[in-house]
A and B are shown apart, each in its own frame.
Chain A
Amino acid sequence: MLGEFEYLLLTAAARLGDDAYGAAIRAEIETTAARHCSIGALYTTLDRLEAKGLVKTWMGDPTPQRGGRPKRRVRVTAKGIEQARAFYTAVTRVSRGVSWETS
C-alpha cells in the first residue's frame, strides 16, 4: 500500500505526463494539495518509488532556463498506475458514508 505523499507524487506525475520532472511535480503538489513540498521529501520519495518500480526516472537534456542543467524526468510505470488506483479505491471505499463536514 502506498503512503499518502507517495500517492500525491504519483498523481502529480501522472497528471503532468511528459512534462513530469522535479520542479514541475513540486509545483503541482503545492498548488493542488495546498501543502509545502520540500526538495528533500520530493527526491527521497522519488527514489523510494523508483526502487519499488512504481516510477522510472532519467536525466533529461540541459535547458537554458535552468542554467544549462538537466531535469530529472519522471514517468509512472504500469505498476505505479495499478498501485495508485488501488490506493484511490481503498480511500474512496473507506470514505463512503463518512462526512467530514463540521456542524
Chain B
Amino acid sequence: MNRLIHAAALLLSPDERDAVLGDLEEMRPSAPCALAEVLGLAARRQAAQWRSPRPWLTLATLAIPMGMLLCLLARRTADGTAIDLWLYANNWVSGYLRQGAARLQMTDRLADVALQYLMLASWSWSAGLALGKAARGSLPLNALVFAALAFCGSLAGAPPKHFGLALYYTARAHNPNAAVFEGAFYRLVFPHLLQAALVVAPAIFAMRTARRLPSAHRIAALLPLATACAALAAMLVWCGLLPGVRLPARLLQIATYIPIAWWLVRPFRWRQERST
C-alpha cells in the first residue's frame, strides 16, 4: 500500500510530493485514507490543468490520433511478422541452419522483422516525446488516453481498405495465412505483446525523457523534439496519410531511425557531461 501511495504521489510535482508525503508521515492516517488524499490532490491539480485549451488541443491532435494510428500500425506489424515467426518457430528444421541459402534467407527475413519492430518502437518513442513535451502538466491524463488507445484501439476493428493500405490487416485477411492465425497466440496474444512492448513502453519512456529535457538549453530541448517530429512525419507519409506527399523510401527510413541514433548517443553525452 505504501508503494501505491508513493506511486500515486509521482503524479505531483517534486516539491509538492515531498511536502505531501512529509505531511502524511506526520499525520499518520490509514493507508487507504492517505492514498485517497494523494489521489484527491492529483485530481484537483489535473482538473486545474484542463481548464486551459492546451491539454484539449494536445489530446485532440496528438494523444488520440497517435494512439489510434500506432495501435493500427502495431497490429499490422504484428500480423505481418507473425507469418515469418510462425514459419520459423512452429516449423523449425535444422536445415535452416545447415543449408547456406536457407540460412541466408532466414537471416534476411529475421533482419526485416527486427527492422520493422525498430521502426515501430521509433515511431512510438517519437509520439511519446512529442506528447510529453506538448502536454506538460496534463501529461498523466493524456498519457492514459494514449496508452489505452494504443493498447485497446483495435477493439473497434480494422479500418476499411480505402482508409489506406498501410493500416489494413492484409496478412490476416489473406486466406493462405489462415494457419498462422488459427491459434490464439498469433491472433490475440502476440499483437497485444507487441502493442505493449513496442508502442506503450517506448512511448512512456519517451514521455519521462521529455519531462527531464532541459528547458534552459534551447538546442538540447529542440533537437530530440525535431527528430521526433521528423519521424512522425515519416510515419504519416509511410501510411499514406499525407496525400500528395511522395518521398523516397530511403529518406523515410532515415527520418524514422534518427530518434534511435539520438537515443543511442545520449548515454555517451551524459557520461561526457558528468566527467566535465
Contacts and interface: CB of A to CB of B under 8 A. Distances in A.
Contacts of A26: 23, 27
Contacts of A70: 18-19, 22
Contacts of A27: 27
B48 interface: yes
B23 A23 contact: yes
B56 to A, nearest CB: 21
B27 A44 contact: no
A52 interface: no
B16 interface: yes
**Chain B: interface size category:** 20 to 34
A18 to B, nearest CB: 17
Nearest to B27: A23
A70 to B, nearest CB: 6
Contacts of B45: 44
B147 interface: no
Contacts, number: 64
Nearest to B29: A39
Interface string B5-23: 0000000000110111111
Contacts of B273: none
**Chain A: interface size category:** 20 to 34
A67 B48 CA distance: 29
Given A22-B19, A67-B21, A43 B26 contact: no
B22 A40 contact: no
B41 A66 contact: no
B22 A71 contact: yes
Interface string A17-34: 000011100110000000
B18 A59 contact: yes
Contacts of B41: 38-40, 43-44
A85 interface: no
A31 to B, nearest CB: 13
B40 interface: yes
Nearest to A68: B22
Given A22-B20, A67-B22, A40 B44 contact: yes
B23 A39 contact: yes
Nearest to A44: B44
A65 interface: yes
Interface string A40-81: 110110000000000000010011011101111000000000
Contacts of B43: 40
Contact of A66 (B15, B16, B25, B48): B25
A59 B44 CA distance: 21
Nearest to B21: A69
- Residue among A21, A65, A66, A67 having the largest count of chain B Cβ atoms under 10 Å: A66
Contacts of B23: 22-23, 26, 39, 66, 71
B40 A59 contact: no
Contacts of B84: none
Contacts of B38: 39
A59 B45 CA distance: 19
Interface string B32-54: 00000110110111001000000
Given A40-B41, A71-B23, A72-B15, 8 more contacts: A39-B23, A39-B24, A40-B43, A63-B22, A65-B25, A69-B18, A69-B21, A69-B25
